[in-house]
Amino acid sequence: MKLVSAKDMLEKAKAGHYAVGQFNINNLEWTKAILLTAQEMNSPVILGVSEGAGKYMAGYKTVVGMVNGMLECLNITVPVALHLDHGSYEGALACIEAGFSSIMFDGSHYPIAENIEKTKELVRMTREKGLSLEAEVGSIGGEEDGVVGMGECADPEECKMIADLGVTMLAAGIGNIHGKYPENWAGLSFETLAAVQEKTGKMPLVLHGGTGIPEDMIKKAIDLGVSKINVNTECQLSFAAATRKYIEEGKDLQGKGFDPRKLLAPGYEAIKATVKEKMELFGSVGKA
Protein backbone atom coordinates (compact mmCIF):
# COMPACT_ATOMS: atom_id res chain seq x y z
CA MET A 1 0.00 0.00 0.00
CA LYS A 2 1.20 3.52 -0.76
CA LEU A 3 1.68 6.15 1.96
CA VAL A 4 -1.61 7.75 3.00
CA SER A 5 -2.58 11.02 4.62
CA ALA A 6 -3.45 10.67 8.32
CA LYS A 7 -6.93 12.19 7.81
CA ASP A 8 -9.01 9.03 7.38
CA MET A 9 -7.26 7.03 10.08
CA LEU A 10 -7.72 9.85 12.60
CA GLU A 11 -11.38 10.44 11.72
CA LYS A 12 -12.00 6.70 12.23
CA ALA A 13 -10.06 6.75 15.51
CA LYS A 14 -12.08 9.73 16.71
CA ALA A 15 -15.37 8.03 15.85
CA GLY A 16 -14.22 4.70 17.34
CA HIS A 17 -12.78 6.21 20.57
CA TYR A 18 -9.22 4.99 20.19
CA ALA A 19 -5.93 6.63 19.21
CA VAL A 20 -3.39 5.99 16.45
CA GLY A 21 0.24 5.91 17.58
CA GLN A 22 2.87 8.12 16.02
CA PHE A 23 6.22 6.40 16.52
CA ASN A 24 9.31 8.42 15.64
CA ILE A 25 11.91 6.76 13.44
CA ASN A 26 15.67 7.14 13.64
CA ASN A 27 17.07 4.60 11.20
CA LEU A 28 16.31 1.47 9.20
CA GLU A 29 15.88 -0.83 12.23
CA TRP A 30 13.35 1.56 13.81
CA THR A 31 11.35 1.88 10.61
CA LYS A 32 11.25 -1.85 9.90
CA ALA A 33 10.35 -2.70 13.51
CA ILE A 34 7.43 -0.23 13.55
CA LEU A 35 6.07 -1.16 10.11
CA LEU A 36 6.18 -4.91 10.77
CA THR A 37 4.55 -4.51 14.18
CA ALA A 38 1.74 -2.41 12.67
CA GLN A 39 1.21 -5.10 10.04
CA GLU A 40 1.20 -7.90 12.65
CA MET A 41 -1.24 -5.93 14.83
CA ASN A 42 -3.37 -4.94 11.83
CA SER A 43 -3.12 -1.36 13.09
CA PRO A 44 -2.84 1.96 11.27
CA VAL A 45 0.41 3.76 12.10
CA ILE A 46 2.11 7.13 11.72
CA LEU A 47 5.89 7.28 11.29
CA GLY A 48 7.19 10.53 12.82
CA VAL A 49 10.36 12.21 11.56
CA SER A 50 11.77 15.21 13.40
CA GLU A 51 13.94 17.64 11.46
CA GLY A 52 16.97 16.38 13.41
CA ALA A 53 16.17 12.74 12.60
CA GLY A 54 15.60 13.67 8.95
CA LYS A 55 19.06 15.22 8.80
CA TYR A 56 20.56 12.20 10.60
CA MET A 57 19.00 9.82 8.05
CA ALA A 58 20.67 11.75 5.20
CA GLY A 59 17.71 13.94 4.27
CA TYR A 60 13.95 13.71 3.71
CA LYS A 61 14.27 12.17 0.25
CA THR A 62 16.32 9.30 1.70
CA VAL A 63 13.60 8.75 4.32
CA VAL A 64 10.83 8.73 1.71
CA GLY A 65 12.83 6.27 -0.43
CA MET A 66 13.48 3.97 2.52
CA VAL A 67 9.87 3.98 3.73
CA ASN A 68 8.36 3.50 0.27
CA GLY A 69 10.81 0.67 -0.39
CA MET A 70 9.81 -1.08 2.83
CA LEU A 71 6.07 -0.69 2.17
CA GLU A 72 6.57 -2.58 -1.07
CA CYS A 73 9.23 -5.14 -0.09
CA LEU A 74 7.67 -6.03 3.29
CA ASN A 75 4.15 -6.17 1.78
CA ILE A 76 2.74 -3.65 4.24
CA THR A 77 -1.01 -3.34 3.67
CA VAL A 78 -2.09 -1.38 6.80
CA PRO A 79 -2.47 2.43 6.43
CA VAL A 80 0.87 4.19 7.01
CA ALA A 81 1.40 7.97 7.10
CA LEU A 82 4.90 9.48 6.94
CA HIS A 83 4.70 12.60 9.07
CA LEU A 84 7.08 15.50 9.71
CA ASP A 85 7.24 16.02 13.49
CA HIS A 86 7.52 19.60 14.86
CA GLY A 87 8.38 21.04 11.48
CA SER A 88 9.48 24.60 10.81
CA TYR A 89 7.82 26.38 7.88
CA GLU A 90 10.87 25.64 5.69
CA GLY A 91 10.99 22.01 6.89
CA ALA A 92 7.31 21.63 5.99
CA LEU A 93 7.93 22.88 2.45
CA ALA A 94 10.90 20.50 2.07
CA CYS A 95 8.85 17.49 3.24
CA ILE A 96 5.91 18.34 0.97
CA GLU A 97 8.41 18.41 -1.89
CA ALA A 98 10.17 15.18 -0.79
CA GLY A 99 6.97 13.08 -0.73
CA PHE A 100 5.84 12.96 2.93
CA SER A 101 2.13 12.20 3.30
CA SER A 102 1.58 14.26 6.44
CA ILE A 103 3.08 17.42 7.91
CA MET A 104 3.24 19.01 11.33
CA PHE A 105 3.90 22.71 11.37
CA ASP A 106 4.85 23.76 14.89
CA GLY A 107 4.21 27.48 15.05
CA SER A 108 3.57 27.40 18.81
CA HIS A 109 6.61 29.59 19.56
CA TYR A 110 5.32 32.38 17.29
CA PRO A 111 2.81 35.02 18.39
CA ILE A 112 -0.65 33.61 17.59
CA ALA A 113 -1.17 35.94 14.59
CA GLU A 114 2.00 34.63 12.94
CA ASN A 115 1.17 31.02 13.82
CA ILE A 116 -2.24 31.55 12.14
CA GLU A 117 -0.75 33.17 9.05
CA LYS A 118 1.84 30.44 8.45
CA THR A 119 -0.56 27.58 9.30
CA LYS A 120 -3.13 29.06 6.86
CA GLU A 121 -0.57 29.04 4.07
CA LEU A 122 0.29 25.39 4.82
CA VAL A 123 -3.40 24.38 4.94
CA ARG A 124 -3.65 25.60 1.35
CA MET A 125 -0.49 23.81 0.21
CA THR A 126 -1.16 20.47 1.93
CA ARG A 127 -4.79 20.42 0.72
CA GLU A 128 -3.67 20.85 -2.89
CA LYS A 129 -1.59 17.68 -2.52
CA GLY A 130 -4.01 15.66 -0.39
CA LEU A 131 -1.71 15.65 2.66
CA SER A 132 -2.76 15.91 6.30
CA LEU A 133 -1.61 18.82 8.45
CA GLU A 134 -1.06 19.04 12.22
CA ALA A 135 -0.76 22.42 13.92
CA GLU A 136 0.26 23.26 17.47
CA VAL A 137 -0.89 25.73 20.09
CA GLY A 138 0.78 26.03 23.51
CA SER A 139 4.28 24.62 23.48
CA ILE A 140 4.99 21.07 24.66
CA GLY A 141 7.55 20.94 27.45
CA GLY A 142 10.86 19.11 27.59
CA GLU A 143 13.65 19.03 25.09
CA GLU A 144 13.38 18.06 21.46
CA ASP A 145 16.16 18.70 18.97
CA GLY A 146 17.74 21.16 21.37
CA VAL A 147 14.57 23.22 21.83
CA VAL A 148 13.36 23.32 25.43
CA GLY A 149 9.67 24.08 25.97
CA MET A 150 8.07 24.86 29.32
CA GLY A 151 4.95 22.68 28.92
CA GLU A 152 2.28 25.39 28.74
CA CYS A 153 -1.43 24.82 28.70
CA ALA A 154 -2.92 26.03 25.42
CA ASP A 155 -5.54 28.78 25.28
CA PRO A 156 -8.75 27.09 24.02
CA GLU A 157 -9.75 30.27 22.09
CA GLU A 158 -6.44 30.21 20.21
CA CYS A 159 -6.97 26.49 19.54
CA LYS A 160 -10.32 27.32 17.95
CA MET A 161 -8.72 29.97 15.73
CA ILE A 162 -6.16 27.46 14.44
CA ALA A 163 -8.67 24.59 14.13
CA ASP A 164 -11.00 26.83 12.09
CA LEU A 165 -8.27 27.25 9.47
CA GLY A 166 -9.01 23.67 8.38
CA VAL A 167 -6.07 21.72 9.79
CA THR A 168 -6.50 17.92 10.03
CA MET A 169 -5.42 17.59 13.66
CA LEU A 170 -4.36 19.81 16.49
CA ALA A 171 -1.68 19.43 19.16
CA ALA A 172 -2.58 21.47 22.21
CA GLY A 173 -0.26 21.76 25.19
CA ILE A 174 -1.97 20.29 28.29
CA GLY A 175 1.03 20.08 30.62
CA ASN A 176 2.62 17.23 28.63
CA ILE A 177 6.35 17.15 28.00
CA HIS A 178 8.77 15.29 25.74
CA GLY A 179 11.14 12.78 27.30
CA LYS A 180 10.89 11.34 30.81
CA TYR A 181 8.44 13.01 33.21
CA PRO A 182 10.02 14.49 36.35
CA GLU A 183 9.03 13.12 39.77
CA ASN A 184 7.10 16.29 40.60
CA TRP A 185 5.12 16.42 37.32
CA ALA A 186 1.58 17.76 37.93
CA GLY A 187 -0.03 15.39 35.37
CA LEU A 188 -2.11 16.22 32.29
CA SER A 189 -4.57 19.09 32.55
CA PHE A 190 -7.83 17.37 31.61
CA GLU A 191 -9.63 20.64 32.25
CA THR A 192 -7.64 22.24 29.42
CA LEU A 193 -8.16 19.21 27.18
CA ALA A 194 -11.93 19.26 27.70
CA ALA A 195 -12.09 23.02 27.08
CA VAL A 196 -10.01 22.71 23.87
CA GLN A 197 -12.23 19.91 22.55
CA GLU A 198 -15.37 21.86 23.39
CA LYS A 199 -14.13 24.82 21.35
CA THR A 200 -12.82 22.73 18.45
CA GLY A 201 -15.78 20.37 17.97
CA LYS A 202 -14.78 17.21 16.16
CA MET A 203 -11.14 18.11 15.61
CA PRO A 204 -8.86 15.09 16.32
CA LEU A 205 -6.48 16.16 19.11
CA VAL A 206 -2.86 15.07 19.40
CA LEU A 207 -1.06 14.15 22.61
CA HIS A 208 2.71 14.63 22.39
CA GLY A 209 5.16 13.26 24.94
CA GLY A 210 3.50 9.80 25.12
CA THR A 211 6.49 8.29 26.96
CA GLY A 212 5.78 7.63 30.63
CA ILE A 213 2.19 8.93 30.81
CA PRO A 214 0.32 6.56 33.17
CA GLU A 215 -2.21 4.25 31.48
CA ASP A 216 -5.25 5.74 33.20
CA MET A 217 -4.30 9.24 31.97
CA ILE A 218 -3.84 7.92 28.41
CA LYS A 219 -7.31 6.34 28.52
CA LYS A 220 -8.91 9.48 29.93
CA ALA A 221 -7.19 11.62 27.27
CA ILE A 222 -8.61 9.34 24.55
CA ASP A 223 -12.07 9.62 26.14
CA LEU A 224 -11.77 13.41 26.00
CA GLY A 225 -10.90 13.53 22.29
CA VAL A 226 -7.25 12.57 21.75
CA SER A 227 -6.94 10.53 18.52
CA LYS A 228 -3.17 10.54 17.96
CA ILE A 229 -0.47 9.87 20.56
CA ASN A 230 3.24 10.46 19.89
CA VAL A 231 5.89 8.15 21.30
CA ASN A 232 9.62 8.55 20.79
CA THR A 233 11.75 8.32 23.94
CA GLU A 234 10.21 5.03 25.11
CA CYS A 235 11.41 3.18 21.98
CA GLN A 236 14.86 4.74 22.44
CA LEU A 237 14.99 3.56 26.07
CA SER A 238 13.91 0.00 25.18
CA PHE A 239 16.40 -0.15 22.31
CA ALA A 240 19.24 1.11 24.52
CA ALA A 241 18.45 -1.27 27.41
CA ALA A 242 18.34 -4.34 25.14
CA THR A 243 21.57 -3.34 23.36
CA ARG A 244 23.28 -2.71 26.71
CA LYS A 245 22.25 -6.16 27.94
CA TYR A 246 23.64 -7.83 24.80
CA ILE A 247 27.00 -6.11 25.19
CA GLU A 248 27.18 -6.54 28.96
CA GLU A 249 26.58 -10.27 28.52
CA GLY A 250 29.60 -10.27 26.17
CA LYS A 251 27.52 -11.58 23.25
CA ASP A 252 29.27 -9.31 20.76
CA LEU A 253 32.48 -11.20 21.62
CA GLN A 254 31.04 -14.63 20.93
CA GLY A 255 31.30 -16.03 17.38
CA LYS A 256 30.03 -13.47 14.91
CA GLY A 257 28.11 -11.57 17.59
CA PHE A 258 29.74 -8.37 16.35
CA ASP A 259 27.79 -8.57 13.07
CA PRO A 260 25.48 -5.51 13.13
CA ARG A 261 22.58 -7.71 12.11
CA LYS A 262 23.10 -9.67 15.32
CA LEU A 263 24.21 -6.77 17.52
CA LEU A 264 21.15 -4.66 16.67
CA ALA A 265 18.64 -7.54 16.80
CA PRO A 266 17.76 -7.36 20.54
CA GLY A 267 17.18 -3.58 20.28
CA TYR A 268 15.01 -4.14 17.21
CA GLU A 269 12.91 -6.74 19.07
CA ALA A 270 12.62 -4.36 22.03
CA ILE A 271 11.20 -1.60 19.80
CA LYS A 272 8.69 -4.09 18.41
CA ALA A 273 7.58 -5.03 21.93
CA THR A 274 7.18 -1.37 22.95
CA VAL A 275 5.18 -0.50 19.83
CA LYS A 276 2.91 -3.53 20.34
CA GLU A 277 2.27 -2.55 23.97
CA LYS A 278 1.37 1.02 22.95
CA MET A 279 -0.93 -0.08 20.14
CA GLU A 280 -2.79 -2.31 22.60
CA LEU A 281 -3.06 0.54 25.12
CA PHE A 282 -4.19 3.07 22.49
CA GLY A 283 -6.82 0.62 21.15
CA SER A 284 -5.67 0.69 17.51
CA VAL A 285 -5.10 -3.09 17.18
CA GLY A 286 -7.31 -4.58 14.45
CA LYS A 287 -8.39 -1.12 13.23
CA ALA A 288 -6.43 -1.05 9.93
Rounded to whole angstroms, how far apart are CA atoms 224 and 190?
Answer: 8
Looking at this protein, which amino acid is placed at residue 186?
Answer: A
Partnered with residue 84 across adjacent β-strands are 49, 103
CB of 235 to ligand 13P, least distance (A): 8
Whether residue 65 contacts residue 99, with contact meaning beta carbons closer than 8 Å, is answered with no
CB of 240 to ligand 13P, least distance (A): 13
CB of 179 to ligand 13P, least distance (A): 5
Looking at the Cβ atoms of 42 and 233, the one nearer to ligand 13P is: 233
CB of 85 to ligand 13P, least distance (A): 5
Rounded to whole angstroms, how far apart are CA atoms 64 and 95?
Answer: 9
Whether residue 95 contacts residue 85, with contact meaning beta carbons closer than 8 Å, is answered with no
Rounded to whole angstroms, how far apart are CA atoms 235 and 23?
Answer: 8
Looking at the Cβ atoms of 230 and 284, the one nearer to ligand 13P is: 230
Backbone angles phi, psi at 5, to 5 degrees: -70, 160
Looking at the Cβ atoms of 207 and 246, the one nearer to ligand 13P is: 207
Looking at the Cβ atoms of 107 and 246, the one nearer to ligand 13P is: 107
Whether residue 186 contacts residue 159, with contact meaning beta carbons closer than 8 Å, is answered with no
CB of 29 to ligand 13P, least distance (A): 18
State the sign of the Cα–Cα–Cα–Cα dihedral 265, 267, 273, 279. negative
Whether residue 187 contacts residue 218, with contact meaning beta carbons closer than 8 Å, is answered with no
Looking at the Cβ atoms of 53 and 96, the one nearer to ligand 13P is: 53
Backbone angles phi, psi at 164, to 5 degrees: -65, -15
Please list the active-site residues.
85
CB of 23 to ligand 13P, least distance (A): 9
Rounded to whole angstroms, how far apart are CA atoms 131 and 150?
Answer: 30
Nearest to 104 by CA among 176, 24, 197, 190: 24
Looking at the Cβ atoms of 115 and 230, the one nearer to ligand 13P is: 230
The residues of the shown chain that bind ligand 13P, judged by CB under 6 A, are 24, 48, 85-86, 178-179, 208-211, 230-234
Whether residue 51 contacts residue 26, with contact meaning beta carbons closer than 8 Å, is answered with no
Exposure of 28 by Cβ count < 10 A (0-12 exposed, 13-18 middle, 19+ buried)?
A: middle
